[in-house]
Structure 1
Amino acid sequence: MVTGVDRGRYQLLTDAGTPVVGMKARELGRGDRSAVVVGDRVGVVGDVSGRKDTLARIVRVEERSSALRRSAEDGEGAGVERVIVANADQLLIVTALADPEPRPRMVDRCLVAAYDAGMEPVLCLTKADLADPAAFLAQYEALAVPALVTSIVGDEIRGLEAVQEHLAGRTSVLIGHSGVGKSTLVNALVPDAGRATGGVNVVTGRGRHTSSSAVALALPDGGWAIDTPGVRSFGLSHIGADDLLAAFADLSAVAADCPRGCSHAEDAPDCALDEWAARGDAGPAGRARLASFRRLLAAKIGASE
């Protein structure tokens, strides 16, 4: 398993539990299509003793069960998707309720990425000691996204036990803006992680980027927490409307009657979803799901918010 990537060197953990440093074999090629990322299962040859100054060669990347992707939105390579983490089964979207203020559109974009990857999204709300989470959670009620709420009282993180239980035995990716308390949470989950933490600029409201690369950390109760760098944008241009719709089985069944190429947006002509809602077949719950789907669809357009 790839647990870290640093300047062309890969931190690996063998099935026997031996930490090994590896490099990608030339025959795997170059570029994003041959990328090896944290979470990948790989085949290696060469020295797998783990002794100092030894290197193994990565010669094969096993089939992935999931792939969390993002796409570049600006400059050279715009629109090109990149896998950032492989083989995780849930995405923990960490956002502060205050200091910095929550950014729902960014949360929405992370939800889109999770649905596209086939991962279960989980909301993790920090700093509940500064603001009531009820209003924020109401925005996601129709999506039935699990939510974990933490607060800091003195030196104690309240709600940490619930987070530990939700992550135990699973491979989870943690993602969020800098300054939301993600690294603090990781250090509490994995006491020897040593992830750097930083405060929030009181003028700009932005946190410092305290993590520079993704890293997989073994959880004490089993499973993995993959910490990722703080993000300011999350490009989703590689995801189409039908890709997102696939995560909404009830809406997808109705949309089968849409005209070819339908965008499923609010202004889409002859969209079957509108007819479904207008007839009253959707009911209050269905209308709420449709509104949530279209909000996520709209959030996909802007890379940062």
Structure 2
Amino acid sequence: MARKDSNRQDSTSRDWDESDVRVRARKSGSRPRTKERPAHEDAVTGRIVTVDRGRYTAVLDEDTAQERIVVAVRAKELRRRPVVAGDLVGLVGDVSGAPDTLARLVRIEERSTVLRRSADDDDPVERVVVANADQLVVVVAAANPEPRTGFIDRSLVAAYDAGIEPLLCITKTDLRDPAELVSHYTALELPVLVSGPAPGAAPGDGTLPLDPGLVEALRERLDGHVSVLLGHSGVGKSTLVNALTGADRATGGVNAVTGRGRHTSSSALALKVEGASPGSWIIDTPGIRSFGLAHVDHDRIVEAFDELAEAIAGCPKGCRHTETSPGCALDAWVAEGRAGAAGPSRLASLRRLLGAGARAGELRDEKELGVS
């Protein structure tokens, strides 16, 4: 018994040191995390030309002898911030552009403009379409598919809200005289280009490539700009892009049953405009079925209608500018002809946009030309 007690005494009286300490590892890792992030001062700047399944394609040293295409992956610190065509980004790692190499995208530079849309007018989630564009080319067909003034108006509102200058381009004028559509926007300072079929094309076949003279007129408008093309599928966006850039974007027709175009572009793609000055880019976007304006403030929508915006100074405070708003000055303004011949239809279009978010299904009932 004495010996047993002696052993107990020896074990309790020994000297302990740090080697005897056992510390359980932290569940999140043994090293504490820090909010500090590397500055990546060695990052080189590139322009994103397309995004595809987590791979970001950028052009570096553009318009120099060292110009090259680099494919990159996003750094974790960027989290879920969207990177889109037109973005200027910082890249590190292997930026040689050699086959089977990947750089790392670590920074999105400050954007000069951002073109946004939402899926519909009551969707709170905004989607970035392109970045750093200074010109929006809204492409519609005179027919097949039918031009939708509601879509044009939405595009103009988004452009003005983003600080981007709009331009309207009308294709397939061999199928229908675009005069009525053009007259709808006469009161606006909106440049309009009419694009017809190639010389010698049979009337009504909608044949493209385009008249070279008209292509050159559009090329002149694009010179020195970063322009984004926006339009429904089947209106000829990709054909225009091919003619202006020498690319070979797939083109498609229009479904004979639904009257809607078939999607031929699955992602936005930035291309250089051939024969233009350095810095001239055109961004082709996938054909879209809807262009929601949930992200645009109510007053900003009104301001986009130049021929009507001045009238709201005479509206009572808090006026919603609807058909039932008491004392709304827009009705008298239009009745006096101060908004031009297209004033009544333009006012109707404005009021549809203002009320679209409050009425289910309004986006699906966009006005087609000549349809109330």
Normalising by the residue count of structure 2, what TM-score does the alignment of the two structures yield? 0.72
Equivalent-residue separation in structure 2 for 1:44 and 1:195 (angstroms): 28
Counterpart code for 2:173: A
C-alpha deviation, 1:102, in angstroms: 1.3
Q: How does 1:256-295 map to 2 (within 5 A)?
A: 258-271=315-328, 273=330, 277=333, 284-285=338-339, 292=346, 295=349
CA distance in 1, matches of 2:257, 2:309: 44
The aligned counterpart of 1:214 is: 268
1:303 paired with 2:363, answer: yes
Alpha-carbon distance change, 61 to 260 in structure 1, aligned in 2, over 3 angstroms: farther
CA deviations over 1:72-97 (Å, ceiling 9, x no partner): 239xx932111110111111111110
Moved more, 64-73 or 292-301: 292-301
Equivalences, count: 296
Moved more, 44-53 or 294-303: 294-303
Aligned CA-pair RMSD: 2.6
Say which of 52, 55, 59 aligns to 1:9: 55
In structure 2, how many angstroms separate the alpha carbons of the residues matched to 1:292 and 1:63? 36
Query: Once the 2 structures are TM-superposed, how far is the Cα of residue 303 of structure 1 from its aligned partner?
Result: 2.9
Deviation at 1:272, TM superposition (A): 5.0
Look up the equivalent residue of 1:136 and give its one-letter code. L
**Structure of higher CA gyration radius:** 2
SS of residue in 2 equivalent to 1:303: helix
Distance 1:57 1:261, change over 3 A: farther
- CA spacing shift, 1:12–1:104, aligned 2, 3 Å: same
Of 22, 29, 51, the match for 2:79: 29
Uncovered stretches (5+) of structure 1, i.e. residues with no partner: none
Residue matched to 1:84: 129
Shift of 1:54: 1.6
Match of 1:142 among 182, 187, 194: 187
Change (3 A) 1:256 1:207: same
Q: Which runs of 5+ in 2 are unaligned?
A: 1-46, 202-207, 357-361, 367-372
The answer on 1:198 being equivalent to 2:245 is: no
227, 231, 238: which one pairs with 1:176? 231
Q: Is residue 210 of structure 2 the alignment partner of residue 157 of structure 1?
A: yes
Amino acid at match of 1:303: L
Are the structure 2 counterparts of residues 279 and 296 from structure 1 closer, same or farther at C-alpha, using a change threshold of 3 Å? closer
Aligned pair in 2 of structure 1 residues 129, 60: CA closer, same or farther (>3 Å)? same
Between Structure 1 and Structure 2, which shows a larger proportion of strand residues? 1
Q: Quick one: which of 224, 230, 242 aligns to 1:187?
A: 242
Q: Which stretch has the larger CA shift, 151-160 or 8-17?
A: 151-160
Residue in structure 1 matched with residue 7 of structure 2 by the alignment: none
CA distance in 2, matches of 1:203, 1:278: 38
Q: Is contact 1:71-1:81 (8 Å) kept? A: yes
Please report how far the alpha carbon of residue 162 of structure 1 lies from its aligned counterpart in structure 2 after TM superposition.
1.0
